[in-house]
Amino acid sequence: MAVDLLLGLQWGDEGKGKIVDVLTKNYDIIARFQGGPNAGHTLEFDGIKHVLHTIPSGIFHKNAVNVVGNGVVIDPVIFKKELDALKEFKIDIKSKLLISRKAHLILPTHRLLDAASETAKGKAKIGSTLKGIGPTYMDKTGRNGMRVGDLEMDDWKEKYRALADKHEAMIDYYNVDIEYDLAELETDFFASVEELKQLTFIDSEEYLFQAQKSGKKILAEGAQGSLLDIDFGTYPFVTSSNTTAAGACTGLGVAPNQIGDVKGIFKAYTTRVGSGPFPTELFDEDGETMGRVGNEFGATTGRPRRCGWLDLVALKYAVQVNGVTQLMMMKADVLSGFESIKVCTAYNYKGEEITHLPYNIEAENVTPIYSEMKGWKEDLTKMSSAEELPEALKSYISFLEKELEVPITIVSVGPDRTQTILR
């Protein structure tokens, strides 16, 4: 039985949480494969809006088990808050949420190091969510990290102390003005670790292998988006993990030949939160309208998201790098009311027209070349079938399918679970 993937094709916040929640009824297991609490995945159903950071987005469904894979980094303090927010839903967390022993832990000092590094960078800052993601993955690849499985050992507090002491020396090295009370942060951390230890830790690669063998259906949930991938994103303005399809293999221990469908999610326009190049970014009324109508504020940090037209050069690249087999277009409703819709189909790159994503996409190198098409006025939010969609939107969808050579199987017309049109 193949493992399907669901991942973001832009700079994150495409609506992954919503679609995982919609698709969970078809799966036995939902498994997060990378990232950490830098993610904010929003789900809306029955009048409730819920934001998940580390916990997979299948958690509200009784039929599915949720796995936090080895590729994920876990902050026990944030994890505890997520668990607290789930209490009212009476979920059997011990059997429905399983955690890989190989997942790495975010320590309080990782968060401080993130802040020190960003402060030291000044204007060149990444715009990190400051959740300690970069420093934790640095310790992972530097072979210094602490893992969930370490918490089952007697000496984990000594290991913690040695690493935290080293981090304090590193924070001093940055020589920047950040204030903190480590003793207070540690009290919170140790209390949260005790709560984490009440959960079920597993050898997730073995669990997923056996599940596959016995015919269970698995959906791997990505965080962030392809353009934030550590290798293929707009480096250095990226996150510190592989957000693309290959990250699901390393982040879960699933062999490449076991990957089935690759479901790629994109917004009908583009957003980005944090720093870094964004060729189709708008600084005008259109961009302001997208942000306002689309309520484009970060689910984790509350920062306003930068908005712009759809960038097909970047989207094609993401489809290619991930081997996307199905596309899902989100937030089509936000574009209702625009007189015309623009799509970037090529770049003017240093005077030459190109259709691939070049090494440098900074504004001084790249000017987007747009195709313009007719907009639509209809409110889509109450529509429930593909036939009802306005002709101009149907043309937009056909145009994208032709350009990307992959079918669009879902059109999302609102944040709620039910506002999802299957094609």
Which residue's Cβ lies closest to ligand IMO? 274
The count of residues in the chain is: 423
Cα angle value 66/253/61 (rounded, 5°) = 10
Handedness of CA 163, 165, 166, 170 (dihedral sign): positive
Residue 53 designated active-site = no
Q: Which is nearer to ligand GDP, 3 or 413 (CB)?
A: 413
**Count helices and strands in the chain by DSSP H and E runs:** 12, 20
- Assigned token pair, 211: 């599940």
**Which listed residue (80, 131, 140, 267) is catalytic?**
140
CA atoms of 367 and 96, how far apart (whole Å)? 48
CA atoms of 32 and 52, how far apart (whole Å)? 12
Q: Is 155 labeled as ligand-binding?
A: no
Nearest approach in angstroms of CB 128 to ligand IMO is: 3
Nearest approach in angstroms of CB 242 to ligand GDP is: 17
Q: Is 8 in the site for ligand GDP (CB under 6 A)?
A: yes
Q: Is 82 in the site for ligand GDP (CB under 6 A)?
A: no
Residue 13 designated active-site = yes
CA atoms of 11 and 273, how far apart (whole Å)? 8
* DSSP letter, residue 411: E
What three-state secondary structure class fits 239? coil
Kindly provide the residue ranges of all beta strands, DSSP E only, lying in 186-295, ordered along the sequence.
Answer: 200-202, 218-221, 259-267, 270-272
In DSSP terms, 348 is beta-bridged to 353, 367
Q: Is 16 labeled as ligand-binding?
A: yes
Q: Is 37 in the site for Mg ion (CB under 5 A)?
A: no
**Segment lying near Mg ion (by CB under 5 A), choices 21-29, 49-57, 297-305, 409-417:** 297-305
Q: Is 38 labeled as ligand-binding?
A: yes
Q: Is 337 labeled as ligand-binding?
A: no
Residues 408/400, Cβ–Cβ less than 8 Å: yes
Residues 113/170, Cβ–Cβ less than 8 Å: yes
Residues 328/410, Cβ–Cβ less than 8 Å: yes
Nearest approach in angstroms of CB 271 to ligand IMO is: 8
**Segment lying near Mg ion (by CB under 5 A), choices 33-41, 178-186, 208-216, 348-356:** 33-41
Q: Which is nearer to ligand IMO, 115 or 208 (CB)?
A: 115
What three-state secondary structure class fits 287? helix
Q: What are phi and psi of 215, to 5 degrees?
A: 85, 15
Q: Which member of 13, 229, 286, 333 binds Mg ion (CB under 5 A)?
A: 13
Q: Is 413 in the site for ligand GDP (CB under 6 A)?
A: yes
- Assigned token pair, 17: 């949480």
Q: Is 18 in the site for ligand GDP (CB under 6 A)?
A: yes
**Segment lying near ligand GDP (by CB under 6 A), choices 36-44, 104-112, 175-183, 398-406:** 36-44
Binding site for ligand IMO (CB under 6 A): 8, 11-13, 35, 38-41, 126-129, 131, 133-134, 223-225, 228, 239, 273-274, 299
Could you say which residues in the range 315-334 bind ligand GDP, by CB under 6 A? 330-331, 333-334
CA atoms of 23 and 391, how far apart (whole Å)? 27
Q: Which is nearer to ligand IMO, 138 or 369 (CB)?
A: 138
Kindly provide the residue ranges of all beta strands, DSSP E only, lying in 296-339, ordered along the sequence.
Answer: 306-308, 310-311, 326-330
Q: How many CA atoms lie within 13 A of 119 on its CB side?
A: 15
Q: Which member of 35, 40, 251, 291 binds ligand GDP (CB under 6 A)?
A: 40
Q: Which is nearer to ligand GDP, 69 or 149 (CB)?
A: 69
Residue 131 interface partner, choices Mg ion, ligand GDP, ligand IMO, none, CB cut-off 5-8 Å depending on type: ligand IMO
* DSSP letter, residue 346: E
Residues 201/99, Cβ–Cβ less than 8 Å: yes
Residue 128 interface partner, choices ligand GDP, ligand IMO, Mg ion, none, CB cut-off 5-8 Å depending on type: ligand IMO
Distance of CA 51 to the CA centre of its chain: 12
What three-state secondary structure class fits 342? strand
Q: Is 299 in the site for Mg ion (CB under 5 A)?
A: yes
Residue 251 interface partner, choices ligand GDP, ligand IMO, Mg ion, none, CB cut-off 5-8 Å depending on type: none
CA atoms of 117 and 134, how far apart (whole Å)? 10
Site size for ligand GDP (CB under 6 A) = 23
Residues binding ligand GDP (CB under 6 A): 8, 12-18, 39-42, 44, 294, 299, 330-331, 333-334, 412-415
Residues labelled as active-site residues: 13, 41, 140
Sequence ranges of the binding site for substrate: 299-305
Annotated binding-site members for Mg(2+): 13, 40
Q: Which residues are annotated as a binding site for IMP?
A: 13-16, 38-41, 129, 143, 224, 239, 303
Q: Which residues are annotated as a binding site?
A: 12-18, 38-42, 129, 143, 224, 239, 299-305, 331-333, 412-414
